[in-house]
Structure 1
Amino acid sequence: MSARDSVLGKIRASMGSPASNDDRRKTVTDRLQAAPKGIIPGRAQLPEAEQIDLFCTMAEKFGATLARVSGYADVAAEVSGYLRAHNLPAAIRMGADQRLQEAGWETEKNLELRHGPSDGGDLAGVSHATGGIAETGTVAMMSGQDNPTTINFLPEHHVIVIKASDIRGDMESVWTMVREKQGKGEMPRALNLITGPSRSGDIEQTILLGAHGPRALHVIVVE
């Protein structure tokens, strides 16, 4: 036995740690599965319909604009309306998310669809959120080909589509949902939590929109 093994053995013995690796792995697994949950504020424990309403209220409070549509077939018309209202070109950047592919784009004949990651030359992009956090009006965005992270940050206008049933009361519940969707060992490379448009403030507390990302955020909630 090396000096290192001897020292570690004494440490394990003093802590009452199991001797075998299998026993130690089981101990760690049991602790992870039985980990206590943090305190969840009352406003994050509302009924589902009230959670959705709270999400919409908080998203607007932090500078996002918001629309609620009855189904995915109405998304394309809402996106086109947003572009016209902001005097933007009829062009939108999007990833390969299957839900966005079925968003009724065929009804918007004049709208140009640009696919794949943004190279910084797009004024507007659309993504589909993984989930939403009602207590803060935050959207959770998983990286990947379905919804490239570049669309989150490079276009000046970011349109985010979110399914109402994917809105949860608190951040902890969204992480649980992500783990359940992805499966063990299959987490995305990045997960961005976005609350309102990008903003920054100088020492005089003058707020500047678009400093580190889109200066406008439009959220479409699909009922």
Structure 2
Amino acid sequence: MNSPTTRARESILSKIRKSIADEASDNARRSAVVNRISAKPRVAAPQRVAAPDTDLIERFKDELRRQLATVIEAAAAAEISPALAEYLRTNNQPLRVRHGADAYLSLLDFQTTPGFEILKGRAAPDDSAGLSLAFAGIAETGTMALTSGADNPVTLGYLPDTHIIVVPRSRILATYEDAFELLRRERGSQPMPRTLNLITGPSRTADIGGRIVIGAHGPRRLLAIIAGDL
């Protein structure tokens, strides 16, 4: 049996519906919503990535640097480990990195760098650097899209002071809509990831006194490695 509260609410909502439209227009609006969702219309892309002569890789790099990230390009997988080691040394960080179960990251050869310690799994409180593989790069804002899961645990991008993200060169796209479309297409009938993290630069906030503070809610440093042979 409906409670008095439920009946009162239904009565109020019924009066509102009657006052703003009849059933026919309700059905028309419902159909319009269904059609729009099915059609997946695209809005106009920003001019900085929509122009025919736009170099998406360069735009992606420029936007990343504008957000205080460091960018390194690696033509082959063998170049990633030495570049990563040099970056850590330059920033006075230990040669110690943790990554998830991602197949590509697991094949990287860190043994060529003496003393490089590799850990696997979710981030621990004492981890200094996390390594992830981006699902896609988004050139319009220099953003990297990371899907959650055992391959790339979300904690790797929040707990360590340094976050390193490998971005496949072939998956640097113009817009957010391009990335969402690619995710839907590749997932097909499979469930979507629990979260899709959009990372643009190191963590920062201006909540206190209007002053920018780096590393307030996550990494103080962000390194993007654009890889060419995935």
Distance 1:166 1:131 in 2: 5
Distance 1:13 1:222, change over 3 A: same
Equivalent residues of 2:48, 2:54 under 8 A apart: no
- Amino acid of the residue matched to residue 166 of structure 1? R
1:13-57: CA deviations, max 9, x gaps? 524849xxxxx9x99765433232112112122569700110001
- Amino acid of the residue matched to residue 201 of structure 2? G
Paired-residue identity, %: 38
Distance 1:210 1:183, change over 3 A: same
1:140 aligns with 2:140: no
Distance 1:99 1:40 in 2: 31
Distance 1:185 1:98, change over 3 A: closer
- Amino acid of the residue matched to residue 125 of structure 1? G
Distance 1:85 1:202, change over 3 A: same
1:91 aligns with 2:96: yes
1:131 aligns with 2:141: no
Equivalent residues of 1:76, 1:104 under 8 A apart: yes
Matched residue, 2:182? 177
1:161 aligns with 2:166: yes
How do 1:61-140 residues align onto structure 2 when only pairs under 5 Å count?
Answer: 61-140=66-145
Equivalent residues of 1:73, 1:102 under 8 A apart: no
Instruction: Pick which of 79-88 and 158-167 moved more.
Output: 79-88
Gaps of 5+ in 2: 1-9
Matched residue, 1:189? 194
Distance 1:183 1:82 in 2: 38
Distance 1:48 1:109 in 2: 44
1:14 to 15, 24, 27: 24
TM-score, normalising length: structure 1:
0.85
Aligned residue for 1:178, secondary structure, equals helix
Gaps of 5+ in 1: 19-23
Distance 1:128 1:36, change over 3 A: same
Distance 2:34 2:101 in 1: 36
1:150-173: CA deviations, max 9, x gaps? 001000000111011111111111
Distance 2:207 2:23 in 1: 55
